[in-house]
Structure 1
Amino acid sequence: MLTRAWLPLALALAVSPHFITPAQAAGQCAQSALHEHPPAINFRVDNDLLGGAQQDQGYSNGAMFTLVSPNLQDYTDDPCLPGLARWMNSHLERLHPGEFEQQNMIFSFGQGLYTPTDNTRTDLIEDDRPYVGVLMVNFGYNARSGNHLRTTQLALGMVGPSAQGEQVQDAVHSVLGDEKFSGWDNQLHDEPVFKLLHERMQRWPPNGNAAGWGWDAISHWGGAIGNLATYANAGGEVRFGWKLPDDFGSSPMRPAGENTAPTRYGRAQGWSSHLFLTSDARWVLRDITLDGNTFRSSHSVDKRPLVGDIGYGVAVMRGKWKFALARYHRTREFDGQKETPVFGSFTISRTL
């Protein structure tokens, strides 16, 4: 869950028209663009308890709050972005994907918690994963040409006690009446972290299926570099349902998922829903949640270089609202891992 320190900022951004609908402030943002491609707010909660009984381990819990811009003319001068975002983008031009038919920007922040299996032990559990809390801010740039999408994200944050992982997990477990984890004194040391991610996606069939029953498929490939994580990955997603959205996937775990990519037609009128099946394979060179601190001695485990995910879920949309529920199964991430990780995710999204 989000820490109490972040919650006031999240609420302020959520209700601030100067951040989300800068057309009212600048008076220059085209109303047609806002009408056809409105900004959106997404909130996602991940928890391994959604994966089944006795699953409070591994990637234990996470939450992310995301703001999505309308489609933009560019990243530095478009009046649909607030002045602060335009100033920031002027210093991050190397991350911009270039000139495309459509483009937008996302801003997100959230937290992830990672814990070993045994919550009762206070000593260092050498053969299980470290205790890790991660607090992150993400800046994302999406650019679309037809059924092709490029997405680039820069994540900045902190691992260690300053990420407030222990405090947040204790608060959540107190509310739920669950047992607390006793080994947080062994968590990783404070360390600033970053991750630069780039993915490319393609969607089939090219004409879409927005009018009725249909299917589509989205392939992806890319990678990331940073002391938070370094890997190369590839995979895909298949969807079947009623009035499929004109986007690049429904999996909340994908960088361009959660209805964050530019759309050509906006959302369908009335009810729409679909099922989705997603997969991803990664060649992992570094994962701080398994390898431990970069510049200091800390707890670590022998990670496996090849990791795969498969997920499935359902998405339902009505008017400005979208709900998605998904479940993920992951291969073992390190030698000696007792169980294969299973966790669930719930996302709620609203256009403005």
Structure 2
Amino acid sequence: MRRVMTAFMAFFLLSLPNAVLADGFAEKLRAGTFVLHTENDKFGGGTDEFYTNGVQATWVSPVLESWEDADVHASIEMLAGSLPLINDERKHSISFGIGHTIFTPVDTQTTEPQPDDRPYAGWLYGTLGLHAKNSKRLDVFELTLGIVGPSALGEQVQNDYHRLIGVDEANGWEHQLHDEPGLMLTWERNWRLFPDKDPARTGGWGFDATPHFGATVGNVKTYVNAGGEVRFGYNLPADFGTSFIGPADGVNAPIDGLEDSRPGFHVFGGLEGKAVARDIFLDGNTWRDSPSVAKRPFVGDAYFGLSVRPSSHFAVTYTQVVRSKEFYGQTHPHVFGSLSLSFNF
């Protein structure tokens, strides 16, 4: 089973770029925005528990004048044309991503089951997204496919890294969630307020706000989310705020590419709330008995950070996140940090 799931993931991830490589589109893969994320609760939290580590790489294409000019396969053209959220006069981009996240209980030294704490779980996934944007609004429609369970290699990633840095290994991975293919569909709408006084285009000091609202449906996670971010700084970027690991990544890609990106820096703070109907990492496997806990239906994040762009081609962003309790019996909120590097070409 593990070999089958791993082969499926490899086929999916390798097939994503092939869907858009026809007739010279490979040249466009050398442009666009590349975003590299790493998130860990050692950053600012000093712990090794709950959502303990995540990595994700996302590529957002340059603006495509039309799906036909981009030679995107007919299936993607048909999908784009059938979605009223993105089939309009705005500029369009596509995105591909690959990521991996790890979840553990508080006590990682015991080998005994811990029915009152978050289960061990790994999540390996790939994403395919369609973006529609102008200076005021961004819609992202995204498909996520992946695997939860031993085939996601959470145990190997965590313990190999712990051995490398001389830290105690986690001993309870025998009780992780079982293998299960994962599928999620995500839509998220982002706004940029105060576009008539857009400091990203005029330069100098300024502030803006980037609220958002969305929904995700799938066997891995099902939720409705809403939130917003306020930014203040010098030469604010013409994008839609801070990007995190998870669905609808890539909102920090410039609207018009390099022409909207210039050296600068800004500080930011934001809030996000979720109404959660399903979370496999708390509820357990969908079709099999597995470790689980009673999740809380409402979860909130508060975050703040700093972003620095020494050139139009590169930005580094650090975000500190405080997440409210996610399940009943959790004794304290969770703190983790997010570091992202963005490359514009």
User: Matches of 1:225 and 1:190 in 2, distance apart?
Assistant: 19
1:175 pairs, out of 164, 168, 174, with: 164
Secondary structure of 2:43 counterpart? helix
Q: Which residue of 1 aligns with 2:316?
A: 323
User: Matches of 1:19 and 1:321 in 2, distance apart?
Assistant: 26
Shift of 1:10: 9.2
User: Matches of 1:213 and 1:22 in 2, distance apart?
Assistant: 40
User: Matches of 1:150 and 1:91 in 2, distance apart?
Assistant: 17
Opposite residue 302 of structure 1, the aligned amino acid is A
Find out whether 1:209 has 2:199 as its counterpart.
yes
2:152 pairs, out of 163, 170, 190, with: 163
Shift of 1:24: 7.2
User: In the alignment, is the contact (CA less than 8 A) between 2:39 and 2:337 conserved in 1?
Assistant: yes
User: Matches of 1:153 and 1:185 in 2, distance apart?
Assistant: 33
Task: Count matched residues.
Answer: 330
Deviation track 1:259-291 (CA, whole Å, cap 9, x = no partner) reads 23633773433x311111121101000000000
User: Matches of 1:240 and 1:184 in 2, distance apart?
Assistant: 43
Q: Which residue of 1 aligns with 2:300?
A: 308
1:223 pairs, out of 192, 215, 218, with: 215
| 1:328–1:258 distance in 2 versus 1, CA, 3 Å | same
Q: Which residue of 2 aligns with 1:138?
A: 127
Q: Which residue of 2 aligns with 1:112?
A: 101
Q: Which residue of 2 aligns with 1:68?
A: 60
2:341 pairs, out of 333, 336, 348, with: 348
Q: Which residue of 1 aligns with 2:3?
A: none
User: Matches of 1:19 and 1:275 in 2, distance apart?
Assistant: 38
1:58 pairs, out of 46, 50, 55, with: 50
User: In the alignment, is the contact (CA less than 8 A) between 1:106 and 1:260 conserved in 2?
Assistant: no
| 1:144–1:302 distance in 2 versus 1, CA, 3 Å | same
Opposite residue 116 of structure 1, the aligned amino acid is P
Shift of 1:314: 0.9
| 1:293–1:61 distance in 2 versus 1, CA, 3 Å | same
User: Matches of 1:268 and 1:149 in 2, distance apart?
Assistant: 17
User: Matches of 2:126 and 2:195 in 1, distance apart?
Assistant: 34
Shift of 1:65: 1.0
2:90 pairs, out of 101, 104, 118, with: 101
User: In the alignment, is the contact (CA less than 8 A) between 1:228 and 1:287 conserved in 2?
Assistant: yes
Shift of 1:292: 0.3
Q: Which shifted more, 85-94 or 175-184?
A: 85-94
Opposite residue 89 of structure 1, the aligned amino acid is I
TM-score by length of 1: 0.85
User: Matches of 2:282 and 2:295 in 1, distance apart?
Assistant: 6
Find out whether 1:335 has 2:322 as its counterpart.
no
Opposite residue 114 of structure 1, the aligned amino acid is F
User: In the alignment, is the contact (CA less than 8 A) between 1:234 and 1:280 conserved in 2?
Assistant: yes
RMSD of Structure 2 on Structure 1 (CA): 3.0
User: Matches of 1:342 and 1:252 in 2, distance apart?
Assistant: 14
Q: Which residue of 2 aligns with 1:78?
A: 69
Q: Which residue of 2 aligns with 1:284?
A: 276
Shift of 1:351: 1.8
Deviation track 1:6-35 (CA, whole Å, cap 9, x = no partner) reads 99x999x99x9x96994675xxx8xxxx99
| 1:243–1:108 distance in 2 versus 1, CA, 3 Å | same
User: Matches of 1:266 and 1:310 in 2, distance apart?
Assistant: 32
2:38 pairs, out of 29, 45, 56, with: 45
Deviation track 1:41-66 (CA, whole Å, cap 9, x = no partner) reads 2211111111322x110111010011
Q: Which residue of 1 aligns with 2:76?
A: 89
User: Matches of 1:285 and 1:24 in 2, distance apart?
Assistant: 40
Give the fraction of aligned pairs with identical amino acids, expressed as a percent.
Answer: 38
User: Matches of 1:251 and 1:156 in 2, distance apart?
Assistant: 20
User: In the alignment, is the contact (CA less than 8 A) between 1:135 and 1:157 conserved in 2?
Assistant: yes
| 1:310–1:221 distance in 2 versus 1, CA, 3 Å | same
User: Matches of 1:246 and 1:165 in 2, distance apart?
Assistant: 36
User: In the alignment, is the contact (CA less than 8 A) between 2:59 and 2:250 conserved in 1?
Assistant: no
Shift of 1:91: 6.3
User: Matches of 2:328 and 2:79 in 1, distance apart?
Assistant: 39
| 1:45–1:264 distance in 2 versus 1, CA, 3 Å | closer
Deviation track 1:184-231 (CA, whole Å, cap 9, x = no partner) reads 010011000111111112111112112100000011111111001011
Deviation track 1:83-121 (CA, whole Å, cap 9, x = no partner) reads xx5355246444572123211111001101000000111
Stretches of structure 1 that go unaligned for 5 or more consecutive residues are none
User: In the alignment, is the contact (CA less than 8 A) between 1:251 and 1:276 conserved in 2?
Assistant: no
